[in-house]
Structure 1
Amino acid sequence: MHRDWLSSGGIICAAAAAGWAGWSGNVLLLPLSAAFPALWSIATTRATAASVSAAYFLAASRGLPQGVAAFYASDILPGLLLWLTASSAFVAVHAALWSKRQGWLPLRYLAASGLMAVPPFGILGWAHPLTTAGVLFPGWRWLGLVAMAAGLAVLTTRFRPAAAFALAGFWLWSATSWTAPKISPAWHAVDLHLGASLGRTSDLVRHRDLVATARATARGPGDIVVLPESTLGFWTVTVQRFWQRELSGTGLIIVAGAAVVDDAGYDNVVVIISESKSSVVYRERMPVPGSMWQPWQDLIGGRGAARAHFFANPVVDLGGTLVAPLICYEQLIVWPVLQSMLHDPDLIVAIGNGWWTSGTSIVDIQRASAAAWARLFHKPLVMSFNT
């Protein structure tokens, strides 16, 4: 009994280490997350399997309590509660599908992996080991995703040493030959460091400064400048006309985040602006659950929450260039990027407003996750964040 307790404790600690190191924000360390299915499969009881799942997920999402506390300007307790709540879906799915019958574990793990990739469980499907496919199988596209799923499944069998050895070989090869897909010189990403004021301070001076930043970043007419989530604040006719007037004669195109508000709530959106026209081209499919997306508000007659457009507008046509937009939280989960990849876009545009993540690795994890998916499908990646 004492030996079993020590064995279970070691597996749980190893799962926490895999979650912590794999989701540290370094894209080349993502393959460490592939240790999770192997550790899950060698658990001897359902309780241990649940503990392994919890240790992995909580370690991977360790920045959440501090980030939530910063977002709400409160103590860390609400963040801890959300952290534990967020882990519940991951733990419940993997605990329910674990089995003592080793022969069924590969199929059961694939079922758990699939459930955590799509709604409703996929809404909280952070730290998904499938993301590792972009590091191990760069440029393999859908075949790489299948290969990664197969590798993760084999890690739950008695052949796990051979699978681990093979995956480690792909990891070494990828790490020594890692290159990012080339981006057209017409695209320019701007990182801002305006903290919590971005999107909340929307006076004329702020907008003029943002226009000046965009113009200074571009090299000439026809260039496309990408600005972070929430850059424009509330998208109104006044803001629209101001930006179009300021862009007059520049030939520039601005891609930026904003919010469209009505009586029932708001949409987190991407807008495209040029001197001749402007429009909302993308509405976020999955806002941050809890802080932005609050589906219970409809039941109690509340208002003010962000809407989720789960499977809407996966790609945007920008003058003949097909773009896959990913806003903030969408970079941490699976289905938005895979849905976009079904349309074979020309590039991925990832934007975020991570001022509240100061002191955590959340933005680095977002960047690493987006980079891995872009690498898997061999797509140029443009990233723009505010911190």
Structure 2
Amino acid sequence: MCCDYLRPALLIFASIAIGVVGWNGYVLLLPVALGFPVLWSMSRTRLVAALVSASYFLAASSGLPQGVAAFYSSDIWPGLLLWLGASMSFVAVHSVLWTNSPNDRPFRHLLATVIMAIPPFGITGWAHPLTAAGVLFPGWGWWGLGFMTAGIAGLVTRIWPAVAIALTGLWLWSAAIWTDPKLPEGWQGVDLRMGASLGRDTGLQRQRDLIATVRNAASDGARSVVLPESALGFWTPTVERLWTGVFSDGNPMVIAGAALVDAGGYDNVLVVIDGKGEHVLYRERMPVPGSMWQPWRSWFGASGGARADFFANPVVSIGARRAAPLICYEQLIVWPVLQSMLHDPDFIIAVGNGWWTEGTSIVAIQRAATTAWSKLFAKPLVVAFNT
């Protein structure tokens, strides 16, 4: 009788450890997440599989309650509710598709892997083990993603120890020769430490400070400077005239986050400012569900919230080159980056405004995930975050 409870307890504790270690913000530890499929396959009942799935997901996203509390300046309860609510899709998919049949298990888990990578379930598809492909198969591109998928399927079969040994060997080799992604030539991302005031302080002095920051980057040789998400705040005609007037000579080109507001809501965007003027470069495909993207408001005739452009503008043209932009939340899920990679961009631009994540590893996880995808497809990477 004791063993009947001991095995599930060990699986649950191991799943928690894998979630915490694999998603702590260190890119080279992402392959630890591949332990989850093994534990899922070891579950002897659907209930245990559900508990293992919940333990992994909740541990991997454990910074969410504290972050949400900081974002809304409230107590921990809204964050806890969102944390638990977001886990439901992950748990439901892995519970429904669990099977005790060894022959069906690889197909079932492969199906769960695909479902959690694409909408609608992929909207909350955080902590996806596929992200580790960039660590195990750097530079392999779609072949690496295919081998990673096959490896995950192999981890839920009877030969999982042999598959795990092979993947561990690749992991150790990759860690031994690891280098961070390169910057595109002439580009520089600027990290800011302006906290919650970024995007909310609409004063002229704040804009002048940001302009000075861009000029400092240009003095170091950057021809293109990227500022974080929401750096410019609301993109109004006044802000537009100020920035285009300063950088009308086109030196340097500036790409910065802003918000375009109208009566129906707003778009979280990147704007580009150069010698030709300005224009919206990119509209965020997947804003943060709940805090930004609130589709239920329209059901009751209300407006507001960020618009989701889902599969729009996966790549953008910047001069003669093409970039894959990823804004904040898009770095935590799978489908936006894979959609962009289908168009073979020249490099990746990753921006975020993570002031609300202080005391958590959320920004570090975003950086680690983006770095992994950049390495998998051998794409240079420009990163700009505010904390």
| TM-score, L = length of structure 1 | 0.99
> 1:297 is matched with which residue?
297
Counterpart Cα distance in 1 of 2:321 and 2:310 = 23
Counterpart of 2:104 in 1: which secondary structure? Answer: helix
Contact 2:229–2:258 under 8 Å retained in 1? yes
Q: Are the aligned partners of 2:186 and 2:221 in contact in 1 as well (CA < 8 Å)? A: no
Change (3 A) 1:239 1:284: same
- Over residues 202-260 of structure 1, what are the superposed CA-to-partner deviations in whole Å (9 max), with x where a residue is unaligned? 11110000000001011378700000000011111111110011124462100110000
Is residue 359 from structure 1 mapped to residue 359 from structure 2 by the alignment?
A: yes
Q: Counterpart of 2:334?
A: 334
CA distance in 2 between partners of 1:265 and 1:126 (Å): 26
1:45-194 correspondence runs (5 A):
45-194=45-194
C-alpha separation in 2, matches of 1:357 and 1:292: 15
Please state how far the C-alpha of 1:274 moved relative to its aligned partner. 1.3
- Compute the RMSD of aligned alpha carbons: 1.0
Deviates more, 1:189-198 or 1:275-284: 275-284
Please give the alpha-carbon distance, in whole angstroms, between the structure 2 residues aligned to 1:276 and 1:105: 56
Larger deviation: 205-214 or 238-247? 238-247
How far apart in 2 are the matches of 1:154 and 1:164? 9
Does the Cα contact within 8 Å between 1:53 and 1:91 map onto a contact in 2?
yes
Q: Is the 8 A contact 1:220 1:252 kept in 2?
A: no
Indicate the SS of the match to 2:225. strand
CA distance, structure 1, for counterparts of residue 221 and residue 348 of structure 2: 22
* CA-CA distance at 1:367 after TM superposition: 0.1
- Tell whether the 8 Å contact from 1:323 to 1:349 is kept in structure 2 after alignment: yes
CA–CA distance in 1 between the matches of 2:374 and 2:96?
32
Deviation of residue 182 (structure 1)? 2.6
Which residue is 1:284 aligned to? Answer: 284
Task: Tell me if structure 1 keeps the 8 A contact 2:249–2:274.
Answer: no
**Cα offset, 1:180, TM superposition:** 2.6
Report the Cα distance in structure 1 between the residues aligned to 2:222 and 2:124, rounded to whole angstroms: 39
How do 1:25-40 and structure 2 match up within 5 A? 25-40=25-40
Contact 2:285 2:310 in 1 (8 A): yes
Is 2:34 the partner of 1:14? Answer: no
CA distance in 1 between partners of 2:358 and 2:225 (Å): 25
Q: May I ask how many residue pairs the two structures share in their alignment? A: 387
**1:275 offset after TM fit, Å?**
3.6
In percent, how many aligned pairs have the same letter?
A: 62
Residue type of the alignment partner of 1:160: W
Cα contact 2:328–2:352 (8 A) shared by 1: yes
CA distance in 1, matches of 2:275, 2:198: 23
Unaligned runs of 5+ in 2: none
Task: State whether structure 2 residue 237 is matched by structure 1 residue 237.
Answer: yes
Runs of 4+ in structure 1 off by over 6 angstroms are: none
CA distance in 2, matches of 1:302, 1:379: 41
